[in-house]
Every structure is written in structure tokens, then in C-alpha cells.
Structure 1
Amino acid sequence: MNAVFSSEDTGDDAALSYGRELLRHIDVRGTGTQTSPLTYSTDLPARVAGHTNWPQWAHPAVVRALSNQGITAPWTHQADTANHANSGSHVVVSTGTASGKSLGYQLPILTALVEDPQARALYLSPTKALGADQLRAVTTLCDDELAGIHPGAFDGDTSIEARNWARENSRWIFTNPDMLHVSLLRGHARWAHFLRKLRYVVIDECHSYRGIFGSHVAWVIRRLRRLAARYGAHPTFILASATTSEPAAAASRLIGAPCVEVTEDGSPHGPRTVALWEPPLMTDVVSENGVPVRRPATTEAARLMADLVTEGARTLTFVRSRRAAETTALAARRILADRGSDLHSRVASYRAGYLAEDRRALETALADGELLGAATTNALELGVDIAGLDAVVVAGFPGTVASFWQQGGRSGRRGEGSLVVLVARDDPLDMYLVHHPEALLGRPIEAAVTDPTNPYVQGPQLLCAAAEHYLTHDEVAEYGALELLRRLAEDGLIRRRERGWYVTAGADPHAGVDIRGGIGMQVAIVDGECGRLLGTVDAGRAPATVHPGAVHIHQGESFVVDELDLEQGVALVHAEEPDWS
């Protein structure tokens, strides 16, 4: 979803789309100044759908199930992706947000599972919210003729009983790289029946696997392919990505095998208005040097969300931190309540750290329109199908052009007009972008960069691979890892034998590898007065966010932290609205 930058603001000449209409309603209102905070706006044209026929190989029962969901014919990129996968080619589809990439893998996988009662499939997502959303979509399809597929979740939110049932009965498992690393691969003997018949692996939102996390996931995928081959399976990989640079090269690095790419987007979308917004200077606040200070981006974003909700626009506001999600939603509710509007109850926050049931309830409320506005971290940036969003407010440049378009692409999912507003923070980069729109809107989207050869990633991952099944000399040569393994052997972590390389007896390398970067265990946040579990926070963040005396906000409720015990993994709090923050 990359724009072709125009050096002229199109606001005066463009036809009055719904997004432009929303922008006119919020412009200047509530700024307290006569100067418009709008520095630039442009309109992205609508795109017409490109349909094609169902592939001849698609099973009639699958086509009927999709047709019953209102899908009368696939879009061109969906059919191209499905055809590549059905032919056995690893494929990555890289198209815009809300372009229906999921049908590209649903069609070949469901067909294979119907035609072969022993076939299995695996779905991997970077977030629980996305995995739960895709599981709901597939479960809806698997009625009547497809009832024997039994799609099931296997993640940190599922109970032990549900995990055991899924392992024994589900033919399409929905999980994440973390569980694949610590459970499926670590205990692969219990999954032998699944791995032996594994036909397809889906890696959704694969552009999010970059840096250290992406490099770890690349090795987790290599370990999966290695064990599947040991059990006699050679699954086809289907990767879905937002629009990105060089998707085939990035996907090939991720899975360690050549991929073909599908990049021509056949999905329709309505016109989008993109606006760049500079918060006004505050007249009553100056910096320590006497320089005027701008209104915080989150404060301005809360006001914009309140304005948009008042206009009846379903709005997502993206912020940079969990605390900002809470305070932004709280501020928007207060603004609506002060206006005498009863819409304040239809605004909420969404972030990581909530309990599973709280997240699911919020996702359902967003999907069915019960919530009109939500302030969220990037937890809702990826893939969750929230139909009918009218506007997205981005509070501060999210760091990459790819993330900006990914967040902005949440809007307009009904095929109608929509609005995307970037609200600048008071820092040099954001100020530069809102005054030089070509630097954002005219810039190519970045490539997803991973480096599986990083020795600090490769070494621990090789130990995990050797614990699952010894490394043969041919594998070591293929990985170019001989010198690295020799250093690990000097440290007493692995031993070379005639047949290959074996981990030291009693070693448990999986427990020492956190594929997301080593932020530690989860600390439970508990109301000490009633024992209610409010949520969790990573141990690495706990000393800064839930230290004694800290204010913890949970869905609009204020708590003060009484005690933090990192050894026991618990922070005790009590309900209070103190006069500090």
C-alpha cells in the first residue's frame, strides 16, 4: 500500500471522499489555535477488483464452503498463490493490507486435507491475536463437508487438555514460532504422526520476522524442515507478507529454500485520504530552555479519535507503548464524556499483557462494531480482520515505512473511503516527515532483513537442533557451522562423534533460547485485595513499569503497585487513583 507521492496537496481538487469528509470535520477543531495543524494531505485512488475462475484442481466441497461465506470467485493474486502452492512450489504472496491473502493458502490446504484424510497442515503467526483470528475464519469454513479437519489452537492461551486434544485430533494446527520451538520441535516424538504427514506450512505476516527475532525464526523453520524430512515429509511453505521490498529473497532467507513471489494485487479497496498532522504549540508550557512545547502526540491522537468517533467513524489509534494505549483510550473517553456523549463506553484500549479472555472479548467487540474506537499498540498491526474501519490515527512515526502502511491499511476494509492520519511527536524525525511528505509517502518500503548466520543466533539454535536429532557431518557442512561447533565443543556444550555431533548429556538448550530477544519470564499483575489476575508484563520491563509505587492502568482502572517479586514472578497492586502518575 505505497503511495505515489504528489508534490501538491490534493485536498482542494480531489472529489470529496468519505476520508476527506472526515478530515474536514476534525481539522482545527479543538486545537485552540487559528493555524491548521494539517501540514499535508493527499488522496489515494480506489482500486477495482481483479477476479478469476476457481482453479480446476480445487475440491468442490472447499469451493462450496468458500462460496457459502460470500466468496463467489477468487481475486487474481489469491488464485496465483494457490496454484503455486498446489504445484509444490514454496510461495510468498506480498500484497496490501486487507487484500485477502488468507484464501491463497486456505484453498490448497483445505483441498489437500479433504482429498487425503491423513494429511496435516501447520499455521504460524507472530501474534496470538492474528492466530486466533485466522483460526476463527478456518473453523467457520470447516462445517458440514469439511467437519473432519478439526482445526485447533496450540499456543500459550490454550489449556493443557486443549493442547493434548489438538495434538491427537487436529489436522490443521494454529500456533506460533515460540510454541513450535519449545514444544513441537523439542518434543517431536509425540508429534511424529503429525510431522510424518505434514503437507503445508503457512507463515503469516512473514515481513514481521526481521532482526534477531526473524533470524531465530529462520532457524526454527530450518529445524522444522529437518525433522519433517526425518519423518519422511517435505511440506510446501506458503508465506503471506504485507507489501515489502524483495519478498522472494526475504522469504527464501527465512525458510532456507527458494520461493516464488506473487506481488500483483487483485483486491479492491476504496479511496484513502492520508493526512500529516503537526500538533499545535502549547501556550502555557515551555521546555527547561524556555522553548515552546508541542501538545503530545498521544494527547492530540486522543482528541482526534474522540472527534472521529463522534462522527460515527470506527477508528483505531496506534501508539508506541502499552501505557500510552491505556492513557489515550482514557483521554478519549473523558473528552466524549465531557461533551455529554454516551459514546465514551464504546472506546477501549487493546495491548499485549491482557488476559486471553480479555483480548478475545475486545477482538470480538471490534469485529462486530460494538466498539467504535480503540487505542492499541502494534498488537493489532498484523492481519486481524476487523471489517469496516473508517479511520486510523498513528501517534508518532512507527519506525519504518512498512509499519506505517501496515497500520494505515487497517482502514477502509469495507471497500469505502477512509482516513489515515499521522500525528507527529515533538522530535526532529517526526517534524521532518510531516513537513517533507515525500520522505514518507514517496519512499520505497523496506525489506525484511534477517541473518541466520549470526553466531549468537546460530550457535544456540544448532544446540537445539542437535538435541532434537544429532547433526550429521553433511548438515554441518551445509550450514557452514564447523568452526562454530568446534568452539561450542571447547565450551563443553556439544561432542563430536563418528556419526555426527551430539549435545552434552543432560543439556536442555531449548530452555536457554528466547527467540524474541531475551526479555525474560512473565510477571503476573495481581490485585492483592481480591486476588484478581489483571494481566502480565515481561520480566525485563517489570522494574520500569510495575515497581513499588508505580501506577498501573488496566482498561481504564487505576492501580498502585505495592510489591514486585521478580523471583516469584508477581506484582501485587491495589485499586487507587493517586495524584501522581
Structure 2
Amino acid sequence: MPDLLDVLLAGGRRADRVTHVEHLPPREGTVADWPSWADPDLVAGYRALGVTRPWRHQVTAADAAWSGRHTVLATSTGSGKSLAFWLPALSAVRAEAAAAGRPGQVAASRRATTLYLCPTKALAADQLAGLERLLVAAGTRDVRVATCDGDTDQTERRWVRDHADVVLTNPDFLHWSLLPQHARWDRLLRGLRYVVVDEAHAFRGVFGAHVAAVLRRLRRLAEHHGGSPTFILASATTADPAASTARLVGVPPEDVVAVADDASPAGTRTVVLWEPPLMPGRDPFAPDDDVDGTEGGPGAGGDAPMSSKHRTATAETADLLADAVAAGARVLAFTRSRRAAESVAATAREHLDEVQPGLGRGVAAYRGGYLPEERRALEAGIRGGDLRALATTNALELGVDISGLDAVLIAGWPGTRVSLWQQAGRAGRAGGDGLVVLVAREDPLDTYVVHHPEAVFGAPVEATVFDPENPYVLGPHLCAAAAELPLRSPDLALFGPSTRGLLDALVEQEWLRRRQSGWYWTHAEPASRLTDLRGAGGEPVRVVEAATGRLLGTVDAGAADASVHEGAVYVHQGVTFVVDALDLEASVALVSARDVDYRTWSRWLTTVDVVQVRAERRAGPVTWGFGDVDVTSQVLDYAKRRVPDMSPIGGDVLDLPPRTLRTTAVWWTAPEPVLAEAGLLTGGDVPGALHAAEHASIGLLPLLATCDRWDLGGVSTAMHADTGCATVFVHDAYPGGAGFAERGFALGADWLRATREAIASCGCAGGCPACVQSPKCGNGNNPLDKTGAVAVLDAVLAHED
């Protein structure tokens, strides 16, 4: 195969798009001896699979777990973390099984069990396949392993409850089924020796807070049934993994052993920062297809005047993917949205079929919302070689074992450095060389990153941020815990210092009843229904083909209004469907297959009301605030744009209900003296300046907080009723907040200085997606005033020390 970077550079014709190339040096592996306690048959099984000796970090972590210490292994993608947790877990199962059946011995009262938790069903299925290969290679027949989740039928669930030694599932199943029915799972909980939490870095923000509560409920019930599990966490390389693990599990940090010294081998990895070229003149307010997903194409070329808008990352990635596949490479292309994954795959297939009919069949899309059998077939296809490439959302960022990839393309900054290196780690696994290309979207953060490589290569990875005591998260879980087993005073310390006050509020609201013996759930309905771990805000909307009744996939409830409203275009594996009807009560969108030459984008209106101010500070006339807010959004209408030129061709008005989110926000004010200093009171565009500053600040906050743009929202107004003056709000996009807005409040001046620099240093004339336009603006990026944004930020920052 030719040098892949040369292929992507197209003989030098694309060389000007590369802003930086970093060659990460290879690393030799360091092995260690198998632990003396390890089951000999399992060791023989690993050797039969090619693991002659384990890596040093695997043995260090396995030894700590075997000794009963809570352990976190935070090393790179493909470093063999699974051996570190399966070796002690399976050895414990085999040791106690052997003791129970030994002649002359009294049968053991319990048999060691292990509970494996991961964020996705795909990863659990992948781990099951790996375990089965190991057990076959080891020649063992006495270890019973099974997956159990929401897709498992009742007959199989009964077998798992009664017999399984190792149960692979997810936190959602614990919340909805296992913990509420813990009496049925007594055998598993009584013998619980290990709880494995895989891809633990994925449990951040509100989702992390939910999982922290679930793990505390699990610890409480395991102890009630006589179990005392050791927790083993596997994570990408993160900052301070011991502290994150302690916060997730609910133990002191000194009780956690952190293993972060990666001893596995790695080949040379070449990381390329890539900025797509400027395009011929286009509608400056056309949607950015890198996010919304439909391909705009490169335009007409020729002598058309160049605009300040770059080609979309979706279009650029599709070209690079097609070139790599045509050269014989195996590739993953990560995108930022489901629609973009479909678009990259479809465009790459078209390009490849032009080169050689049928070559495009080697490329497919992979995303959330597909049916389980579709996902399994795609995973098998890329592993077995029937597929050469997948265009995927971050659904494949986690540890599904797909080895032997030549390259990874990343269409847009993935939100955090942790995610970047997780995705990049897919290239050149098993010690081979690999190529990684980060293609910038037109977004302030993407533009900053590709022109400031030190932000990628010179900065440490982020810590995993979540708040286990978020009252909007913890309150419903306390109700669930009380329903499982009445809460007693000694239990409160497990859930954190704020638990007692929260319980008093739940009693006052009549969710719980207080008795001398504890707190009780007395309602008929299951308490687990009070919350949703994924924050979807309701039952997923099923997308059903009206003519056949075929289920195509699902859409999160919170996204349904904007993405599967009546008249919306829905794309599934390259086939276009138009939504005939959206029934929000039944959570069903009925669609019909139609070959249309346009895509749809919705428009919505958002307002913010301050509910409670938690913290406030003043800088001269400027007020900074942080607190609880109600964010109300309503999808109003949608526009149709023809592809590929993105020209508008109409749209329609929608009649959808408003939705209100109680969350947290940071805000800063610009009263009249500040607007006067900025020169905006004498003919300036105050709404446009504030709107532009809001967009850019949302784009830059992820550089300072562990989040990405999609974890945030914002509103700006020239006069807000609660503050009495011009105000910019940036809020967390999750119920109760996720800590991101609070981080913005703490870093206020530094955050706005970075925002101001990003706007002022952009070479565009009047504002573009690289500085002040937003890919998720509900008002079509109108009005926007780039110059006014710099002026108002200068005026605000002038009052900071």
C-alpha cells in the first residue's frame, strides 16, 4: 500500500490544507511474569491466543485488584486493559467453584460473581465474544458468562439470575431492573467479588452523576445481601484517575490504586491537523453540514470569488475517506452527528463507485439509533474485511475491538483531548503504525486548535468532571434507593453530605415518608421511573416506515422536535425518508421513502428565566452571575435547502409545544455604560454584538471545561427582565446542570479573553463559522456583528483586574 499521507495530500495538491504534522514516536512494550495467583488454565488460554507474557501495567492492576484494592487502569486504546480485570475476576470464579466441588470439602456458601458495566450494549457484546474465545482456548467449562440488558427476554434473564458467574450489562439495566428487583438477584449480589466499570471516562457530566448514584445503590444492596465487591475501572488516559474513580464509586481517593504507566508497545503515529480550503462565495448563513450532516459540496470553482467560508469538514472527510479506501486502507471516520455519518458514507460511496463500480459497497455508516442486529453486522463487517471503512459517530470511540486499522479521520474536534486520543488510538492498534487526521470544522474551537497545535500536543488530558450531589440527579436516585430498601441514617454518608437536606425536601414534597426507622417509598409506581440515566427526557421516538411498519431506528426524545418533525428529511444508510407525521404522545415518527434533492433544518426560539442566583460578583458596572435558570425552547418552523448547492427552496411553519429545562447558567451583563464604552449606543448593533459574543464564548468554553459545544446552550438579549440590562447567558444543556457553566463563572475573565482573541484573530470580514456563527443557532445566525462583539468584550474586560 502506498504511503497513506501522500495519498491524502494528492501529490501535493492538498498540502496547503495541512497546518501541522506531529510524529508521535514508537514505544517498546515492557512485559512481566504472570501472577502466581492466576488460574493456570486461564494463563494457558491467554498464551494460546498469543499473549505469551502480559504487559507490566496489566499485572500491576490485576495484582492490586486481586488484593482487594479498588483499582483504576488508565492507559491508551488497545493497551489490553481487559486482561487486567478478567484475569482476577475469572480466577476468583474458578477458585471458588473448585473449592465448592472439592471432595471432602464442605460446599462453599457462595460462588464468586462479577458484574461488568459499560456505557454501550455493543461493548458488552464485544467483551462477551472475547471472553468466550478465552474460555474456549483455556478449555474451561465451569465459568458461566452472559450478557443481560433491556433486549434480553425473560427466559434468558431467569437463567442469568440463577446461574451466571459473570454478567455483562450497563448502568441502565441496573437502574431499571436489577436493583429494583434485587431480591431476585440475591445469588449474584451475595457472591459479588468484582464490579468492573469499563470505559469509565465516558461517565462524565450528568450521565456520570447518574452512574455515580447507581453505583452507590449497588454497593448498598450488595452489602445488604452479604457481598463486598472490589471495583476495577478501565479508562482512557485522564487527569487524576484516582480522584475521578473515588468520586464515581463513592470511596476516599486514598482507597484507589491508579495505574497509568502504559507498558504496551505502540507504533509510530502520525497526527495531521487539517483545515479545509476556502470556498467560492456561498450563502453566509447556510447551515454547516459538518454538524447537521447534509453535504454541501465544493461549489462551482472557476473564477467565482472566494468567500471567508471553508469547505465543510463533512465534504473534506468524505473525499479523504474515499481516497484512503481506494488506496487499500482500512479506515474509521469519526463525525460529530448522525446526519454527518450518513453523509460522509454516502458521498464516499459515490466517489468510489466512480473509480470502480461496486467499490463503494466497502463503506457504510455506523451510528446510534440503528437496530442492534444492524450494528452487530457492521461491526462484524469491519472486523472481517467485508467493509473497508465506517463513517461513525462516537459510538465506536469506546472499546469495541476493531484492530488493524490504517487510519482514523476525525471530522471536527471531538470535544475533549480524552476523546481525541481515544479515537486516534484506533489507528495502528497492536503496535502498528497509524495515521490520524483531524479535519477542522468551521467553529471557533476547531480553528483555534488547528492553528495552535500546542493545545493538542502540549496540554494534558482533562479530568472527568461530574457532580454526584447534583440534586436533580441525586433526588430521584434517593427515592429509588428507598424503594429498594428503606434508607437508614447510616446509609446517608454513602450518598454525600447534602443527602440529609435533600431527603427532608423529598419528604416535604411527599415523594418519601419519614419514619423513626428511616425513609420509605410509599407510592405504587416504581421509583426508577422518576429519572433517565441518559438524560433523554422521555421515551425515544421510534422512526417507522409507514408503508411496511418496519422500524428504522430511534431518535432521542429531546431531539425529536427538531429532527423528525412533520416534513423533515431522515436519512438511513443513504436512503432518504420524509416524515409524514410525528406523534409525541405515542413517541412515533411515521416516514415514507422518497428520493428528494433537499434536506431540512429547523428553527427554534429560546428564552431564559433566572430562578435563583447562587453566586454573583461585580467588576465595575459588569455583573457576573451563576445560578438556576429555566430555559424554554420551541421549534417554530423549518427550511428546505437543495443539495449540493444549499440554495433555499422553501419550508413550513410547525405547531410543536414548548419545552422547559431547569438547569444552571453563567451570565454577564453589559449595562448602558458598558455599551457606550463599546460604541454600540451610537448606531451599533447591540443584539448582533451580544449574539456573536455568545456564540463564540460557547465555542471556546470547551477548551477550559470538560465538555463540548453540544453540552451547552446560550441566549443573548439587549434587555433581560431579570437583570434589567443587556445580558449574555451560557447554560448547561442538562437537567440540574453539569458543572460546565459553573466552570465558566469561575474562569470568567480568562474565558472571555480567549473568546475575544478567537474573534479578533479570525481573518473573515463580517463573521463566519470559524468565529461567531454557530452550527446550532435556532435563529439562523442572524443578527451577528463581529466587530461589535470584539468591542463589547473589550469593554467588559476593561473592568476586570
Is the Cα–Cα contact under 8 Å of residues 119 and 198 in structure 1 kept in the other structure? Answer: yes
Matched, 1:553 2:548: no
Match of residue 13 from structure 1: none
- TM-score of the superposition, structure 1-length normalised? 0.94
Q: Which residue of 2 aligns with 1:113?
A: 93
- The answer (yes or no) to whether the contact 2:123–2:399 under 8 Å persists in 1 is yes
Q: Distance in 2 between matches of 1:554 and 1:474?
A: 52
Aligned equivalents of 1:471 and 1:300: distance in 2? Answer: 56
Alignment of 1:325 with 2:318, yes or no, is: no
Q: Distance in 1 between matches of 2:39 and 2:231?
A: 20
SS across alignment from 1:367:
helix
**2:47 aligned partner:** 67
Q: Give the whole-Å Cα distance in 2 for the aligned partners of 1:486 and 1:448.
A: 30
Map residues 160-559 of structure 1 onto 2, 5 A cutoff: 160-257=154-251, 258-285=255-282, 287=284, 291-340=307-356, 342-477=358-493, 479-480=496-497, 481-559=499-577
Distance 1:288 1:73, change over 3 A: closer
Q: What residue in structure 2 maps to residue 43 of structure 1?
A: 23
2:53 maps to amino acid: A
| Aligned partners of 1:389 and 1:414 also within 8 Å | no
Does the Cα contact within 8 Å between 2:161 and 2:187 map onto a contact in 1?
Answer: no
TM-score (norm 2): 0.68
Secondary structure of the equivalent of 2:22? strand
Q: Could you say what secondary structure the match of 1:240 adopts?
A: strand
Match of 2:134 in 1: 141
Distance 2:59 2:492 in 1: 39
Q: Residues of 2 paired with 1:419 and 1:111: CA distance?
A: 38
Stretch moving more, 181-190 or 480-489 = 480-489
2:490, 2:353 → 1: CA distance?
68
Structure with max Cα Rg? 2
Post-superposition shift, 1:102? 0.3
The one-letter amino acid paired with 1:424 is A
SS at match of 1:540: helix
Distance (Å, rounded) in 1 between the aligned partners of 2:467 and 2:330: 40
- For residues 159 and 563 of structure 1, the distance between their equivalents in structure 2, rounded to whole angstroms, comes to 31
Residues 443 and 161 of structure 1: CA distance in aligned 2, closer, same or farther (over 3 Å): same
Residue of structure 2 in register with 1:6 after alignment: none
**Larger RCO, structures 1/2 (Cα 8 Å, 6+ apart):** 1
State the alpha-carbon separation in 1 of the partners of residues 32 and 148 from structure 2. Answer: 35
Query: Residue type matched to 1:575 in 2?
Result: A
CA distance in 1, matches of 2:444, 2:192: 50
Distance (whole Å) between structure 2 residues aligned to residue 505 and residue 328 of structure 1: 49
Whether contact under 8 Å (1:54, 1:73) holds in the other structure is yes
1:473 deviates by 1.3
Alignment root-mean-square deviation, CA:
1.7
Measure the CA separation in 1 of the matches of 2:340 and 2:283.
22
Report what 2:71 is aligned to: 91
| Between 510-519 and 313-322, the greater mean CA deviation after superposition | 510-519
Q: CA deviation at 1:497?
A: 1.2
Instruction: For structure 2, list consecutive stretches of 5 or more residues without a partner in the other structure.
Output: 98-110, 287-305, 600-801
Which is worse superposed, 168-177 or 34-43? Answer: 34-43
* Alpha-carbon separation, structure 2, partners of 1:93 and 1:445: 15
Letter in 2 for 1:138: L
Q: 1:45-73: per-residue Cα shift (whole Å, max 9, x none)?
A: 11111111100001111111111211111
Q: Deviations over 1:505-527 (max 9, x none)?
A: 42522111111124321222122
Aligned amino acid, residue 124 of structure 2? G
Distance 1:261 1:309 in 2: 40
Secondary structure of the equivalent of 1:285? Answer: coil
Q: Provide the rounded CA distance (Å) in 2 between the counterparts of 1:75 and 1:268.
A: 9
| Deviation sequence 1:25-57 (CA, Å, 0-9, x none) | 11156x9x6762111101111111111110000
**Equivalent residue number for residue 14 of structure 1:** none
Q: Per-residue deviation at 1:333?
A: 0.4
From 12, 24, 34, the counterpart of 2:6: 24
Deviates more, 1:74-83 or 1:508-517: 508-517
Correspondent of 2:120 among 120, 124, 127: 127
What do residues 217-236 of structure 1 show as CA deviations (whole Å, max 9, x unaligned)? 01100110100000111011
SS of the counterpart of 2:87?
Answer: helix
Aligned residue for 1:486, secondary structure, equals helix
1:152 is aligned to: 146
Q: Structure 1 205/356 Cα, relative in aligned 2: closer, same or farther at 3 Å?
A: same
Q: CA deviation at 1:567?
A: 1.6
CA distance in 2, matches of 1:35, 1:149: 55
AA aligned to 2:314 is T
> Partner amino acid for 1:265?
D
Aligned-partner Cα distance in 1 for 2:351–2:230: 51
Question: Once the two structures are superposed, what CA deviation does each residue of 1:187-210 show, in whole Å capped at 9, x if it has no partner?
Answer: 101101110111111000101111
Look up the SS of the partner of 1:193 in the other structure: helix
CA distance in 2, matches of 1:62, 1:28: 49
Report the Cα distance in structure 1 between the residues aligned to 2:512 and 2:551, rounded to whole angstroms.
42
Please report how far the alpha carbon of residue 414 of structure 1 lies from its aligned counterpart in structure 2 after TM superposition: 3.7
Q: Quick one: which amino acid aligns to residue 355 of structure 1?
A: L
Q: Output the amino acid matched with 1:39.
A: T
Q: 1:75 Cα shift?
A: 0.5
Q: Secondary structure at the match of 2:469?
A: coil
Kept in 1: contact 2:278–2:307 (CA 8 A):
no
In the aligned structure 1, how far is the partner of 2:264 from the partner of 2:456? 24
Report if aligned partners of 1:153, 1:163 keep a CA contact under 8 Å in 2.
Answer: no
The letter of the residue matching 2:366 is Y
Checking the alignment, whether the CA contact within 8 Å between 1:286 and 1:293 is kept in structure 2 is no
Contact preservation (8 Å) 1:277, 1:423: yes
Give the match for residue 12 of structure 1: none
Amino acid of the structure 2 residue aligned with 1:136: A
1:102 has 2:82 as partner: yes
How many residues are aligned here?
561
Alignment match, 2:58: 78
Matched residues in 2 for 1:288 and 1:505: separation? Answer: 52
Deviations 1:227-266 (A, max 9, x none): 0000111011110010010001100110012311011111
Which residue is 1:8 aligned to?
A: none
**Equivalent AA in structure 2 for residue 200 of structure 1:** Y
Judged with a 3 Å threshold, the aligned counterparts in structure 2 of structure 1 residues 297 and 363 are, in CA distance, closer, same or farther, namely same
Instruction: Tell me if structure 2 keeps the 8 A contact 1:154–1:166.
Output: yes
Q: CA deviation at 1:554?
A: 1.1
1:558 Cα deviation from its structure 2 partner: 1.7
- Consecutive unaligned residues of structure 1, counting only runs of 5 or more, are 1-17
**3-state secondary structure, aligned to 2:553:** strand
1:127 offset after TM fit, Å? 1.1
* C-alpha deviation, 1:477, in angstroms: 5.0
Distance 1:229 1:269 in 2: 42
Alpha carbons of structure 1 residues 515 and 343: separation in structure 2 relative to 1, 3 Å? same
Deviates more, 1:367-376 or 1:239-248: 367-376
Q: Distance in 1 between matches of 2:380 and 2:37?
A: 35
